[in-house]
């Protein structure tokens, strides 16, 4: 078993959990495990690696999520991930989009557990990194508990010790990825049962968790919890997790402190040519439900995308929210 603390993680989310988002989230929580967006094996091997994989040292602990199904290619990707300093490699066996299926990876791989096991084994042999799998509880009509345990058992045979389980099945046709996150019913009970039946594995629950009390309750039944949209849309949710779940004695940062801590990073990225809106889009929800929160969001939304927009836009937006917020 690895040394990473997996009690809480923020999910890999396409177009959301880029490096700027992760740096911002790290200002709210030092201990939560963060994940990249999914990166395909082909992109890692043939694309602009620096653009795709570069990250700030402050983002650790940090996992790279890969999409692919060729053991040899994924092994090479695992070596690249190690070279870039990632703390974990995660294989996506949960995304149901058409684009993913056409590449023979994502949720459709639940129908090929032996291939997934081979991929895991190849990655483990190639790099000294934890190799984990993010999956669903089932796909299409292959959604019995027996099918899930068969999948987990076979993949564990390839050396996977950590399974992140999105507690919904996926329909590979007929539903969009967004609908697949909302329409199939949540079955936390299935994930809890999986932990009881595989006590030697690390089982992480993903799906539908939006509050710290929910997380605490789930942690009595599984080894860890992964949250997604709730952490992105209401990021200040993470401000107290270090104290509540990781034993930190440091006081939670205020929202204003978080923004001020983000400013030097924003300045540095602006000097490197990153447009302001690429960073500020991730902080729009920081003052959600707080007096002045709408003015904060409106100011950033209207001004951050303008040519030449500077960090002053962020500072001016902050002045629209009372210091006590």
Query: Which CATH number do you get for residue 36?
Result: 3.20.20.70
Same-domain pairing of 151 and 233: yes
Q: Is residue 250 part of a domain?
A: no
Average pLDDT of 188-215? 97
- Residues 236 and 101 placed together within one structural domain of the fold: yes
Residue 26 pLDDT > 60, yes or no?
yes
Give the list of residues 6+ apart from residue 273 with CB closer than 8 angstroms, or none: none
Instruction: Answer yes or no: is 141 within a domain.
Output: yes
Residue 1 has pLDDT above 60, yes or no: no
Residue 2: is its pLDDT beyond 70?
no
Kindly tell me if the per-residue pLDDT of 324 is higher than 90: no
Average pLDDT, the chain: 95
Of 216, 245, 274, which residue constitutes the final position of a domain? 245
| Structural domain ending residue among the three candidates 185, 219, 245 | 245
- Domain endpoint, select from 226, 245, 264: 245
| Total domains in the fold of the chain | 2
Residues 177 and 202 in one domain: yes
Indicate the pLDDT class of residue 99, thresholds 50, 70 and 90.
Answer: low
- Whether 148 and 183 map to the same domain: the answer is yes
The pLDDT assigned to 325 comes to 58
* Torsion over CA: 84, 89, 95, 101 (sign): positive
Task: Answer yes or no: do 25 and 126 share one domain.
Answer: yes
Residues 260, 235, single domain; the answer is: no
- What's the predicted TM-score (pTM) here? 0.95
Q: What is the mean pLDDT of residues 77-89?
A: 98
Domain membership of residue 325 (yes or no) is no
The answer on 99 and 162 residing in a single domain is yes
Residue 206, classed as helix, strand or coil, is strand
Residue 150 has pLDDT above 90, yes or no: yes
In the chain, where does DSSP find H-type helix? 19-26, 41-46, 49-53, 71-83, 98-102, 113-126, 145-157, 177-180, 188-197, 212-218, 229-233, 241-245, 255-271, 277-280, 293-303, 311-318
Write out the two tokens for 54.
């570069």
Q: What does the pLDDT look like over 224-279, one tens digit per residue?
A: 999 999 999 999 999 999 999 999 999 999 999 999 999 999 999 999 999 999 99
Which residues make beta-bridge pairs with 170? Answer: 139
* Among 21, 95, 108, 160, the one annotated catalytic: 95
Specify the pLDDT at position 98.
67
In a domain, 1, yes or no: no
Task: For residue 2, tell me if it sits in a domain.
Answer: no
* Same domain? 226 vs 97: yes
Give me the pLDDT at residue 135, please. Answer: 98
List the domain range (segments joined by +) for residue 172.
8-245
Claim to verify: residue 221 and residue 109 sit in the same structural domain = yes
Pair 262, 136 in one domain: no
In the annotation, is 95 catalytic?
yes
State phi, psi for 284 to the nearest 5 degrees: -60, -35
* Over residues 198-204, mean pLDDT: 98
């Amino acid at each position: 078993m690895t040394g990473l603390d997996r009690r809480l993680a923020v999910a890999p989310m396409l177009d959301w959990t880029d490096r700027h988002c992760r740096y911002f989230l790290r200002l709210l929580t030092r201990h939560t495990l963060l994940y990249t967006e999914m990166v395909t094996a082909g992109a890692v091997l043939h694309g602009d690696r620096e653009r795709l994989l570069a990250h700030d040292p402050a983002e650790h602990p940090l996992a790279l999520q890969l999409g692919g199904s060729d053991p040899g290619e994924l092994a090479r990707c695992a070596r690249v991930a190690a070279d870039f300093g990632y703390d974990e490699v995660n294989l996506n066996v949960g995304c149901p989009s058409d684009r993913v299926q056409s590449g023979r990876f994502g949720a459709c791989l639940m129908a090929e557990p032996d291939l997934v096991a081979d991929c895991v084994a190849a990655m483990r042999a190639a790099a000294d990194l934890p190799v984990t799998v993010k999956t669903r509880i089932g796909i299409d009509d292959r959604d019995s508990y027996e099918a899930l345990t068969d999948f987990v058992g076979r993949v564990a045979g390839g050396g996977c010790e950590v399974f992140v389980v999105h507690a919904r099945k996926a329909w590979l046709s007929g539903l969009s990825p967004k609908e697949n996150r909302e329409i199939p019913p949540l079955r936390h009970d299935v994930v809890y049962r999986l932990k009881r039946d595989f006590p030697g594995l690390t089982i992480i629950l993903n799906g539908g968790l939006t509050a710290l009390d929910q997380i605490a309750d789930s942690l009595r039944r599984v080894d860890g919890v992964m949250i997604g949209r709730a952490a992105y849309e209401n990021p200040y949710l993470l401000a107290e997790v270090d104290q509540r779940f990781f034993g930190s004695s440091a006081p939670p940062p205020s929202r204003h402190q978080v923004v001020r801590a983000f400013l030097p990073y924003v300045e540095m990225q602006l000097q490197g040519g990153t447009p302001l809106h690429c960073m500020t889009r991730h902080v729009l929800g920081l003052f959600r439900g707080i007096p002045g929160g709408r003015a904060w969001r409106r100011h950033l939304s209207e001004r951050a995308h303008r040519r030449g927009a500077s960090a002053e836009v962020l500072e001016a937006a902050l002045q629209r929210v009372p210091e006590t917020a």
